[in-house]
Chain A
């Protein structure tokens, strides 16, 4: 493969932004994205546990799942995408595609609705996708002790947990940096461990 170097190594990567409905996923994406967050829709055609009223379509439920995403050009030949996932974890179909090959995930948490992210955390742990927990601090108020939040979420001490302000570019940037550092450190540990 002696193709010219300028386009042959063009590639992309993605980070998943997850969390309950209304926690600020799109705001976080928008705070660092070089484009106004875009929305794309996937038509899901599969059983959806009888939740949707889809009597017009016999035997199959079709559901549209929307997700918001942004883009950061890291280099001419390397683009990072941030995908905000649908809050509803029953859309497993979409999640598989979102998670496949991702660097890792940021679980955005609202302390008033901690339970909203339980199933998301379960899913990432099950899929062995590295994640960190970012507590969105509305109005700049850090109302809870991080250790209390860690205990409530039952995430291990290894998982990074930090406050963030999803509206703030610098704050979001720090969260993304923390996640990539964490993933890199996990890899290094593993390489050393396995030899």
Chain B
């Protein structure tokens, strides 16, 4: 969605070489979505390429957001998004989407409120 409308072509943007030029992820993943290596990812034999190994190692310990993966791999966000989406589609990673707080008419307000209360008490404990 974010990349929609303008459809950048990979050939113009060299950082996308690691995704073989693809700039559109299979799955929209939020900046702050948490990524976790699955048992299949940990098994190792299903991994394709160095980048996948790096991501599996990175998300094998504590949860990492898409933004952290991009930052730690020193690749642009869009590149990390394509890589992670591919790996999630192959069952190598689990992606936990954030709880959105925007005023979507369909959003469940009670879920958001409960989470806000947890954030608040967490901040007070800091």
Q: A residues near B, CB below 8 A? A: 7, 10-14, 32, 38-43, 45-46, 57, 60, 62, 64, 69, 71-72, 74-75, 78-81, 83, 93, 96-98, 100-104, 128-129, 169, 173, 176-177, 180-181, 183-184, 187, 191
Contact = CB atoms under 8 A, between A and B. Distances in A.
Given A7-B94, A69-B67, A96 B34 contact: no
Given A7-B94, A101-B30, A187-B112, A78 B12 contact: no
B5 to A, nearest CB: 8
Given A72-B122, A72-B126, A177-B120, A43 B13 contact: yes
Contact of A60 (B12, B98, B109): B12
Contacts, number: 144
B65 A187 contact: no
Interface residues of B, number: 46
Contacts of A74: 118-119, 122-123
A7 B34 CA distance: 11
Contacts of B122: 72, 74-75, 78, 80
Given A81-B31, A173-B123, 10 more contacts: A10-B36, A11-B97, A38-B71, A42-B78, A43-B13, A43-B77, A79-B32, A81-B65, A101-B99, A101-B102
A183 B94 CA distance: 30
A16 B101 CA distance: 12
Interface string B3-43: 10010100011010000000100000011111010000000
- 8 shortest A-B CB distances, which residue pairs? A101-B100, A74-B122, A45-B8, A38-B71, A10-B96, A42-B77, A40-B71, A12-B98
